[in-house]
Structure 1
Amino acid sequence: MTLALELRDLATEIAREAGELAHRRRREGVHLAATKTTLADIVTDADREVEALIRARIAEVRPDDGFLGEESEADVGVSGITWVVDPIDGTVNYAYGMPAYNVSIAAVRGTPDPQSWEALAGVVHAPALGEIFTAAQGHGAWSGETRLAVTTDTPAGALLATGFGYDPSTHDGDLATVRRVMPMARDLRRSGSAALDLAYVAAGRLDGYYERGLKPWDFAAGALLVEEAGGLVSRLEVDSSRPMLIAGGRAVHARLHGILSEKR
């Protein structure tokens, strides 16, 4: 078994356990622990508990690996492998009782920098929806026994997804971007979970996705799903405070990239 497959299988096992914990805590009732960038950007006790579980399980099996999580301090490690984790992606959905939340776990080779790492494995597990999406470098993207493939034909226009930042000062710019992409769109979706949107692109449920301001843990696993399903993922303005991520099948990606890379 290749390293990528070993890491995928470990990530899948851990994501299932972490997802069950998150789902159980949701049934018991959500307790807000803190806010982050704004009052709307929340952290629950479950976020922290789930991340601690994931980190502990990885350390038991691969103690030399690095770790980059949303809710705890980064650890460089010595093995050259880093785990990039969002314990509950879609926390606002989670807090409100909406099922579009997930556990996102990726394993990458290299530094915890998306511009230089090599993604080896990724898992997006949505426990409330009963779905798990997995990918290993060179071995495709899967949902159970079904191999995933991005859409290649959008005669009625592309079904796109996006997200908005929590900072109200960014909303006008995000809405202006929506106006720019709508001429190529069949319609637009806004789920509140970047990792799940990327998994849906990989599964052909969405034709494309774009969003500004994502953190590495938001897209590490989902981006590999898209790529292993035959799609493309790219980032624009990577040196800015809010880089743009674009994902989709080749034709949709090219059209989005052309629109979003235009200077305004």
Structure 2
Amino acid sequence: MKKLVVAGLMMSSFAFGQLKKDTLKEVDVKLDVNPFTATGRSEKKEKPLPLSKKGQMFVFFGWNRGAFSRSDIHFTGNGYDFQLNNVQARDKPTKFGIVYFDPSWFTVTQYNFRVGYFIKDNLALVLGIDHMKYVMKQNQTVDISGTISDPKYAGMVHNGQVDLADTQFLTFEHTDGLNYENLGLEKYKNLIHKKNIDLVWSYGAGIGVMFPKSNIKLFGNERSDRFHVAGMGTDIRSSLNLVFWKNWMLRVEGKAGYINMWDIKTTLNNKPDKARQDFVFGQVLGGIGYTFNTKKYN
């Protein structure tokens, strides 16, 4: 009887051992997952680098300094059709102070605003407003050609030139301002990636409409001062973006472009009087922005 019991215990021990061994095999099979070939495991998404992934966005606000090439300005209206050649102009920066940070006064400064959305990895569609200021230099004598019927102003022309210094003949500004509303495409490349700091370089181009509020006083007429779609512009641009704490961004950008305005209003009413000009511009801007993701990352 003892032999039968011992034999039974040995057989049950052997069976239990086989079952336990088989069970462990199954467990091993389930746990032995190849990370390169498994399809059942859900891949963990990592938060992307800033300014690099589709679905990311950024907003930006800053200030600019601008420079403009010489320009021929052609004026037409009732009793005149003339052109001023090689007119010089400059920008009009506001003296630094609280006006740069007070939202109720921000349009007084030469400012820039951007909203960017990454339509592909490292490629962003950027909507922007460049609020530049353009002021014709008053203390200059320029060549003039064409006709002026008013004897007072025709008498200011001497030997094919007119002196603009006394402001009676013309004052000419886009100071409220030279508004370039543009849509651009920008490519981004990460140069430095640290724990809390990224340095990102971008380059691109844009095109848009000119929506100036021109301050013009010609021949003693009431000053023209109204917003108006006057023409178009285009540009190329490049920037360096320092992103810190994953979201905040300091941006420095340089750009160059071409502006053509063929419908500048020179009188306050709806008279057909107008001017046209085209010129090349350069701009340097800087400011602060914020980046964020429209997609969730673990």
TM-score normalised by length of structure 2: 0.20
Compare the two structures and name the one with the higher strand fraction: 2
Q: Tell which structure's C-alpha radius of gyration is larger.
A: 2
Quick one: higher RCO (CA 8 Å, sep 6+), 1 or 2? 2
Compare the two structures and name the one with the higher helix fraction: 1
TM-score normalised by length of structure 1: 0.22
